[in-house]
Chains A and B, each alone.
Chain A
Amino acid sequence: GAVVSQHPSRVICKSGTSVKIECRSLDFQATTMFWYRQFPKKSLMLMATSNEGSKATYEQGVEKDKFLINHASLTLSTLTVTSAHPEDSSFYICSAQTLAGGKEQYFGPGTRLTVT
């Protein structure tokens, strides 16, 4: 149980274009999903907290107009990187918290974004 999927797993885009990444909880409902960014050999950096039906809460230093988050249902959150630049290239990981139980987060497999 507690499976989270991400799509796409890898994406290459040109500078100036936008990219949408989907995060789905496959076998449970998640009122809260999180988006992280991870640099090589580093720990996860929280970008934003996404709550179903409400606006996302962004961490300090994360541009909300650049990283658009939509949490339209209890099983789907999307992250759109707008007007992408090479410095946006990174590994983006989402996670979902179950409605019941503790604070465990279940992670998606990640999306490798490369902006050329």
Chain B
Amino acid sequence: TQLLEQSPQFLSIQEGENLTVYCNSSSVFSSLQWYRQEPGEGPVLLVTVVTGGEVKKLKRLTFQFGDARKDSSLHITAAQPGDTGLYLCAGPGGGYQKVTFGTGTKLQVIP
């Protein structure tokens, strides 16, 4: 079974601080996705990383895929209250057509 462990599980920070969320596995993934989910909403796809070592930027968010394609990180610079939400990494696996979701990181940015 492919597992994706995210850390930290919960994070509460002040507006303007930087943070990093990690997504780790013992398995190799052909790609990884990052989603953000707000309360009462479905997850929204932020980015897909495919190549080992790949770095993608989305405004203040920087996503990196590990060289061995077993891990990924999400770094947020100068966090804002609008960044508050549940961040989920996900990758193909767990069976044909399926996607395995990480354990989730709940981020709260305090104004």
Contact = CB atoms under 8 A, between A and B. Distances in A.
A88 to B, nearest CB: 18
A43 B42 contact: no
B48 A104 contact: yes
What is the interface residue range for chain A against chain B?
A: 20 to 34
A104 B40 CA distance: 21
B98 A109 contact: no
A91 B42 CA distance: 10
Contacts of B40: 91, 110, 112
A95 B106 CA distance: 21
A97 B97 contact: yes
B43 interface: yes
Contacts of B33: 103-105
Given A42-B104, A44-B101, A106 B45 contact: yes
Interface of B: 30-31, 33, 35, 40-45, 48, 50, 86, 88, 90-92, 94-95, 97-99, 101-104, 106
